[in-house]
């Protein structure tokens, strides 16, 4: 008779840590009233919360694996994808101002903060994003051209975490 014994303490600890991290991520995503999302380098949604899915007019499960062109009108999809690719190419946090047409009608101006999503080795896997309604109450910020799809790049937050609104000459409309 042969008997084997393996110590699986480390495995159990890793499983507990993984479960804890998953629970934390789920709480952050589902506890936020603001849209949150992650996309891979090809622009496919990897995860998103219910408010992000609601902006797209689908459920979160329906959005996973699909890209902007599958879920948004052509003008908005191109703007969103261009912003995503800018963040991936530069490897820096960027804030975008977008006029978003809501599935139920009407529109809203959103500030979308997008940052690179990286693995432990620093390789960019895609982007993560958080959106919030513009502080200008649903109107574009002063000096921003009004069009159906407005996208202006804002600078990243300062080290203090406060936003430094761009001057008229520093923003670029797309």
User: Using the 8-state DSSP alphabet, how is residue 109 labeled?
Assistant: E
Q: How many residues can be counted in the chain?
A: 174
Q: Angle at Cα 59 formed by Cα 47 and Cα 137, nearest 5°? A: 85
Residue 47 tokens, joined = 């995860």
HSE of 53, CA atoms in CB hemisphere, 13 A: 18
The CA distance from 162 to 47, in Å, is: 27
Q: What is the per-residue pLDDT for 144?
A: 52
Q: For each of the chain's 174 residues, which pLDDT tens digit applies?
A: 888 888 899 999 999 999 999 999 889 888 899 999 999 999 999 999 999 999 888 999 999 999 999 998 888 889 889 999 999 999 999 988 877 777 777 777 888 899 999 999 999 999 999 998 776 555 555 555 443 333 444 444 444 443 444 433 333 333
Looking at domain 34-154, which of 1.10.1240.10, 1.10.10.10, 1.25.40.80, 3.30.450.20 is its CATH number? Answer: 3.30.450.20
Strand partners, 173: 152
Residue 84 tokens, joined = 């995503």
The CA distance from 171 to 158, in Å, is: 16
User: Using the 8-state DSSP alphabet, how is residue 60 labeled?
Assistant: H
The CA distance from 70 to 47, in Å, is: 15
Integer distance in angstroms from the first to the last C-alpha of the chain? 74
Q: What is the per-residue pLDDT for 18?
A: 94
**Tokens 């979160």, residue?**
60
Q: What is the per-residue pLDDT for 75?
A: 82
pTM value surpassing 0.85 = no
Q: What is the per-residue pLDDT for 143?
A: 53
What is the domain partition of the chain in residue ranges? 34-154
């Amino acid at each position: 008779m042969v008997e084997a014994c393996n110590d699986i303490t480390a495995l159990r600890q890793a499983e507990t840590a993984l479960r804890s991290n998953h629970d934390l991520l789920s709480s952050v995503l589902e506890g936020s009233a603001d849209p949150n999302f992650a996309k891979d380098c090809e622009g496919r949604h990897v995860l998103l919360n219910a408010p992000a899915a609601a902006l797209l007019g689908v459920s979160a499960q329906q959005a996973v694996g699909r890209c902007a062109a599958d879920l948004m009108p052509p003008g908005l999809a191109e703007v969103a994808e261009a912003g995503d690719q800018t963040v991936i190419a530069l490897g820096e946090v960027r804030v975008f101002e977008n006029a978003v047409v809501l599935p139920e009608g009407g529109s809203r101006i959103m500030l979308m903060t997008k940052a690179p999503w990286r693995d432990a080795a620093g390789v960019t896997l895609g982007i993560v994003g958080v959106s919030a309604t513009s502080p200008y109450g649903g109107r574009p910020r002063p000096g921003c051209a009004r069009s159906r799809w407005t996208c202006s790049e804002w600078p990243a937050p300062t080290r203090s975490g406060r936003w430094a609104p761009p001057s008229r000459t520093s923003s670029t409309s797309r």
